[in-house]
A and B are shown apart, each in its own frame.
Chain A
Amino acid sequence: MKKTLIIFLKELKDSLRDRRTVFMMIALPLIMMYVFSNIAIKMQMRQVVKSKERTLTVALITNSNAEDFKTTISKRSDMTLKLNIDEENAKKMIEQDQLDFAIVFPANFDEIQKEYKSGSVSVYYKNSRDIEIAKERISKMLDDYKKDILNKRLTEKQLDQAFINPIEVNSIDLATAKERIGEVLGGMLPYIFIIFCFMGAMYPAIDLAAGEKERKTIETLLSSPASRMQIVLGKFLVVVLAGITSAVVSIVGLFLAFKGVKEIPQKGLEMILRLVETKSVLLTLSLLVPLCVFLAAMLLSLSIYAKSYKEAQSIVAPMNIVVIIPALIGMMPGIKLTTTTALIPILNVSLATKEIVSGTIKMGLLIEVYAALFILAAVGIWFCTMWFKREDVIFRGM
């Protein structure tokens, strides 16, 4: 145990003096997460603001009805009104992006209103994210108009508001905002963690095994009283630590980016901050630790097999894809944590994190994920130590 610690401390010191390792482990995740999150947030905000402020071109086809509505809409500065277009033309113009909306009142709308019946108003538009935000403005106007008519009707019939409202329903959306954000951001977070964890662990793993072989220091180390097991574990702990540090630093970058943006509405900010609340972060990290142990074992095993630093790099590079694919699958909507997916490494961490962030994780499945990860990590360490004991591996190319 003491020798493992000696090796660990030496390898840690050695790695921290390696600019490439430190850059990949700390600077890169911090800068990348900070910059990319900032860009993503800014772009998103600009998009929203743009759609909210943009002047809409709206065709209004009233067929000489709803004069009140026409007056209201013509007063709006954020809408250019087109009045002399028929319904068919309006539809074509929307398809050709010459119009944003067409609001069509039926020919007998005013008559229907006099009979206290319901008249249907059609709103034509071409759906896109951009229009979705702008549509809120049109809906709001129509809603206000509806309320006006309703109030008029109630006054005419001398009825109270409560008459049409026998039950006041306090509807509470159970798919909370947290849950919805969890779906989106929660899918992305583990992906980011896993990739940075891998990248941060990659250089120390290459340097501490293949690098040691290339510099021929491995012979001297192997002839020291430290056992192979102690040597592997010492190196291994440094690789694990590097991977976790890298992942944690990427969260810090993300957090800083969100904190730095002032334009985020208070409500949105609160939700995002709740995402990185201590409990979620700790739970996610606890999932990341065994995964990182497994990745470290894999990286170190590949690295010690390589003859040189360069060969190690070319062996490890394709592993990036092996790691990214299950993490990517976890980002796809509709893929849920089940008793089966809980057993698939990387994917299970990705899915479990998603559920942890949205607060819907089931205890049983979480335990299954932990069990799968711990077994995997244990097998990883066992394989790595066995691998280090093999003469044909350690002395390959020497």
Chain B
Amino acid sequence: MIIVDHLSKSFSLSRKQRTEMASTSKSIMAVDDVSFTCKPGEIFTLLGPNGAGKSTTLRILATMLKPTSGSVRVAGFDTVKEAEKVRGKIGFLTNTTALYDRLTPTEIVKYYADLHGMDNRRFEERKRKLFELLGIDEFANRRIGKLSAGMKQKVSIARTIIHDPEVVVFDEPTVGLDVITARNIIQLIRDCKKEGKTVIFSTHIMGEVSLLSDEMAIIHNGKLLYNSSFDNFLKQMKSRTIEDEFIRMVGGEA
């Protein structure tokens, strides 16, 4: 369960950034009074163009950033006051595989399992299961630097869910991946839902929204424009396609 309550986040701007953005204000609202709830066993999609505030919201969920105002509770814990407990409950995956080139898949997965305080027996069991499922076994002891993008993505997935997290956060997980690898991620998101985990993922790809979403939110310039179920979104559409409707909502021409 994730409860986002009137969340705002502002970043201060340096003089250089102000000139670049032709802005006079000393700070910028990356997230502006956003509230939503993600329930276990459901997939929540955060949809928005680049720079909408998706990554900032997800980083706050993962305790990397602190909110300027408002609060977030993840799996029953406050992300500011109980940050460490929150981190123990989540798995975080981005579009960059975020792996260490000089380590092997086994070593990386073991590293994160250790940080999550998993005992050896549980780790071995879980590792065997995931490696078999994802087909990592054949390259489990090769250095990451020598693996293909698809192989790396598989290791990344294993690393994210090795500790069987209650909540899974995906920040634009499929950007820049080929169709086959992207499918792996889509499958992973579905599996997480099946296992009753709370899943939140951000994207700007409409196709993924229709493939996965139970609940969705549209975010633009830090503000929440829409928050309801995907079915409702389809029902209230004024444009012909999902894409057109999205562009209409964020104020573009459609």
Q: Which residues of A contact B (CB under 8 A)?
A: 3, 6-7, 10, 13-14, 17-18, 215-217, 219-220, 222-227, 391-392, 394-395
Residue of A nearest to B169 (CB): A223
Within 8 A of A (CB), among B104-128: 107, 111-112, 114-117
Q: Which residues of B contact A (CB under 8 A)?
A: 11-12, 59, 62-66, 84, 87-88, 90, 92, 94, 96, 98-103, 107, 111-112, 114-117, 159, 169
Q: What are the residues of chain B within 8 A of A215 when measuring CB–CB?
A: 96, 98-101
Asked whether A14 and B100 contact (CB < 8 A) given A219-B92, A223-B63, A391-B66, the answer is yes
Cα of A227 to Cα of B159 in the assembled complex, Å: 18
Cα of A57 to Cα of B7 in the assembled complex, Å: 93
Q: What are the residues of chain A within 8 A of B12 when measuring CB–CB?
A: 392
Asked whether A219 and B64 contact (CB < 8 A) given A14-B100, A14-B102, the answer is yes
Residue of B nearest to A2 (CB): B117
Q: How many A-B residue pairs have CB under 8 A?
A: 69
Cα of A224 to Cα of B87 in the assembled complex, Å: 6
Give the residue among B62, B90, B114 with the most A Cβ atoms within 10 A. B114
**Nearest-Cβ distance from residue B59 to partner chain A, whole angstroms:** 8
Q: What are the residues of chain B within 8 A of A13 when measuring CB–CB?
A: 103, 107
Cα of A327 to Cα of B12 in the assembled complex, Å: 40
Q: What are the residues of chain B within 8 A of A219 when measuring CB–CB?
A: 59, 62, 64, 92, 94, 98
Asked whether, in the complex, the Cβ of B111 is within 8 Å of the Cβ of A223, the reply is no
Contact of B62 among A3, A216, A222, A394 (CB under 8 A): A222
In the complex, 12 of the A-B residue pairs with CB atoms within 8 angstroms, ordered by the A residue number, are A13-B103, A215-B96, A215-B100, A222-B62, A222-B64, A223-B63, A223-B64, A226-B115, A391-B65, A391-B66, A392-B11, A394-B64
Asked whether, in the complex, the Cβ of A10 is within 8 Å of the Cβ of B111, the reply is yes
Asked whether, in the complex, the Cβ of A395 is within 8 Å of the Cβ of B65, the reply is yes
Given contacts A6-B114, A219-B92, A225-B115, 8 further A-B contacts (CB under 8 A): A17-B103, A18-B102, A219-B62, A220-B98, A223-B169, A224-B87, A225-B117, A391-B64
**Nearest-Cβ distance from residue A233 to partner chain B, whole angstroms:** 14
Q: What are the residues of chain A within 8 A of B101 when measuring CB–CB?
A: 215
Q: What are the residues of chain A within 8 A of B115 when measuring CB–CB?
A: 3, 6-7, 224-226
Cα of A224 to Cα of B66 in the assembled complex, Å: 16
Asked whether, in the complex, the Cβ of A225 is within 8 Å of the Cβ of B116, the reply is yes
Contact of B98 among A216, A225, A227 (CB under 8 A): A216
Contact of B100 among A7, A217, A227, A394 (CB under 8 A): A217
